[in-house]
Structure 1
């Protein structure tokens, strides 16, 4: 629900690292730096979905490919855990110079171990999150255990990781064996959130236990129940991103980025634009507020937000409630609470003066609940006032839509 721009910055050895900077529609509350899993990339499903969830909560995200992976320059065979940490520090330096971040470090799998170690060299970081992270960087050797002897004897070997060939050298084994992740987490001195799937078959749940026990308070653990290591099941990565945003709020949010108060009498434009995440999903931007519009899954949508008619119904319901509250306050009546339920359908209406015979029109059935010590006459008057709601009158009498094409840079 923002912008996603491709950028490049120099990594630990000066080679350019390919990255994406995902920015919310409005000024971010905080910036996060995301480290992907071993031999993965910034564009892996979990990274994309977690980033999208964070952006919805006004957290900007920088995610990048480590040296030699994805679209980044460099030779993967010359990299190791230490160079990954150095790449993270380089990414944090770029983000600090460009946007003043990161305030939040997030690492997935081996990337989680890397952010714990890198945090010691990124002073502006206020909180750290690990997802399915090993408590020992050498855990990654299990994925290449059949090649370890060859690597140690011959100095290198080609291994298959996630169906792709990579060359690993002896220095890689030596480096991960020497990494001190548990020691680093003990001296982290930042709030830590450990997220792990109990059924993770790649990095066992005992790793989460080791990290959590070694960390000092404040620390938190969230179980990603029924998820796999790469969070590939629908909804798991999005859920993880939302939980991260909620957890991080008291530690990293910038109060100065709060939305300004709406001025009375000011009409704000409503801007709707595609998010690019699914076929019909759109961001609805109203002043400084953002929400999602979508279509149901059964018609090809993602089902992640109200459909357009539900937004119309919401407008009618909100307008009705506000109109009744204004009227009761003006009269000094003891109105305690108003609730409005709207149901939209298409039907044949006999008393529609402007409808063609036999044609269905849109019908909004409205049920109003009025709580308070009002007498019968007052309640009857309140029901009459409900029909004075401006949105109600617009729907009843009809409006007029004027349409123009806005030129783009390419037209």
Structure 2
């Protein structure tokens, strides 16, 4: 997916470094991602979730808070409130590009920040939190031993995750006095709370407090055995899939339907996992599918194989064609099912490049309803007239051209 490297002014005017992950196909909505405490926009969870959401048509802006990562400014002078203000500044930047965010996603302390910011941003329709604390002050347990020094000297240098940070008294006082309850209670957006039951950094009780405080519509989904940083790719992919599916209830993710007779448009197929075979398929009208190979052939079995899609196309076209015909005739067809089998294995053919044999698809059609013998015979004839059937039976021409890579430089 194309990624833009951008900067925008933060809460105090300091330039904040960001990545804007753009869909490879139609742009259906925009999300704003807030990272965890002392993390950054490029941690694996943020990158993986942004990539998966962009593959589904949702552009994602992820940025480093002031003083972190590649952003300018002094981290020692930042507070939880300044993080919230940075989020508002990011939203302002997106508004200026005509990409007003409809979805906020926050990880850990970033989750608390999006809850606070969500109550202040009018364009937000949905907010999702991942391992978020219900009290911003919870973050101080990461450096509890340094609190006396911070109180006595105004700041302290400490190591978090193996990196040095200077924490100021202002940050400690700000998180101690920042109450999330009013913001959660007045959040004018749908809320999704995601949390791992065995999260050792932010306990599951925090998710319960957030969920109980929020008004409907609200949802809770477990992250099962994920760790707090959501480091496993499969956990990040799962979180992204759930967020996208859930958000569809509250955010319009489908472009307007084309008029009858218009071409179906371009189907964008984009590799999702260069180490395997997982592939994103996005249509110009906003549909998203996954293609993959079975486990036995090195895939992750998260979607149909390419041959599987061919069989699915034949079966779906057969069913729809029969339904159209029976409806037009007024026949009592109450249900159609089509079993399709194909005599090839895609992974084997891809390795051997053998494709000379005649392909054979077998269809077993079940028609339910008070149909007489003549009607059933006629419907069997109509099955052979479905457009996909005709396409498979006759020779086709595939025209291929190599397109120059115009994507932005990799992150």
Normalising by the smaller structure, the TM-score range is 0.7 to 0.9
CA distance in 2, matches of 1:143, 1:80: 15
In the TM superposition, residue 100 of structure 1 has moved relative to its aligned partner by: 4.8
CA distance in 2, matches of 1:321, 1:247: 29
Q: Which residue of 1 aligns with 2:365?
A: 368
> Is 1:305 paired with 2:309?
no
Cα gap change, 1:274/1:222 in structure 2, threshold over 3 Å: closer, same or farther?
A: closer
CA distance in 2, matches of 1:406, 1:371: 48
In the TM superposition, residue 6 of structure 1 has moved relative to its aligned partner by: 2.3
What is the 5 A alignment of 1:77-92?
77-92=76-91
Matched position secondary structure for 2:19: strand
> Is 1:193 paired with 2:192?
yes
Q: Which residue of 2 aligns with 1:296?
A: 294
Q: Is the 8 A contact 1:346 1:361 kept in 2?
A: no
CA distance in 1, matches of 2:343, 2:390: 18
Q: Is the 8 A contact 1:67 1:76 kept in 2?
A: yes
Q: Pick from 393, 399, 411: which aligns with 1:402?
A: 399
Q: Which residue of 1 aligns with 2:117?
A: 118
Cα gap change, 1:329/1:246 in structure 2, threshold over 3 Å: closer, same or farther?
A: closer
CA distance in 2, matches of 1:214, 1:101: 27
In the TM superposition, residue 151 of structure 1 has moved relative to its aligned partner by: 3.3
Q: CA RMSD in A?
A: 3.0
Cα gap change, 1:7/1:360 in structure 2, threshold over 3 Å: closer, same or farther?
A: same
In the TM superposition, residue 56 of structure 1 has moved relative to its aligned partner by: 5.0
CA distance in 1, matches of 2:391, 2:336: 21
Q: Which residue of 2 aligns with 1:340?
A: 338
Q: Is the 8 A contact 2:26 2:284 kept in 1?
A: no
Unaligned runs of 5+ in 2: 346-355
In the TM superposition, residue 360 of structure 1 has moved relative to its aligned partner by: 4.9
Q: Which residue of 2 aligns with 1:314?
A: 312
Cα gap change, 1:47/1:297 in structure 2, threshold over 3 Å: closer, same or farther?
A: farther
In the TM superposition, residue 262 of structure 1 has moved relative to its aligned partner by: 4.6
Unaligned runs of 5+ in 1: 348-358
Matched position secondary structure for 1:152: helix
Matched position secondary structure for 1:192: strand
In the TM superposition, residue 187 of structure 1 has moved relative to its aligned partner by: 4.2
Q: In terms of Rg, which structure is larger?
A: 1
Q: Which residue of 1 aligns with 2:26?
A: 26
Q: Which residue of 1 aligns with 2:95?
A: 96
Matched position secondary structure for 2:59: strand
What is the 5 A alignment of 1:1-400?
3-24=2-23, 25-28=25-28, 30-55=29-54, 57-251=56-250, 253-254=251-252, 258-264=255-261, 266-279=262-275, 280-290=277-287, 291-329=289-327, 331-346=329-344, 360-400=357-397
Cα gap change, 1:87/1:282 in structure 2, threshold over 3 Å: closer, same or farther?
A: same
Cα gap change, 1:200/1:336 in structure 2, threshold over 3 Å: closer, same or farther?
A: same
Matched position secondary structure for 1:124: coil
CA distance in 2, matches of 1:388, 1:179: 67
How many residues align structurally?
A: 394
* Per-residue deviation, residues 128-173 of structure 1 (Å, max 9, x unmatched): 3322111221211111123333433444433222232323233332
Q: Is the 8 A contact 2:126 2:247 kept in 1?
A: yes
Answer with 7-16 or 56-65: which moved more: 56-65
In the TM superposition, residue 10 of structure 1 has moved relative to its aligned partner by: 1.0
CA distance in 1, matches of 2:236, 2:303: 17
CA distance in 2, matches of 1:5, 1:409: 12
Answer with 360-369 or 215-224: which moved more: 215-224
Q: Is the 8 A contact 1:112 1:129 kept in 2?
A: yes
Matched position secondary structure for 2:175: helix
Matched position secondary structure for 1:212: helix
In the TM superposition, residue 36 of structure 1 has moved relative to its aligned partner by: 0.9
Q: Is the 8 A contact 1:270 1:284 kept in 2?
A: no
Answer with 66-75 or 56-65: which moved more: 56-65
Answer with 274-283 or 302-311: which moved more: 274-283
TM-score normalised to structure 2 length: 0.83
Q: Is the 8 A contact 1:106 1:128 kept in 2?
A: yes
In the TM superposition, residue 178 of structure 1 has moved relative to its aligned partner by: 2.6
CA distance in 1, matches of 2:402, 2:99: 38
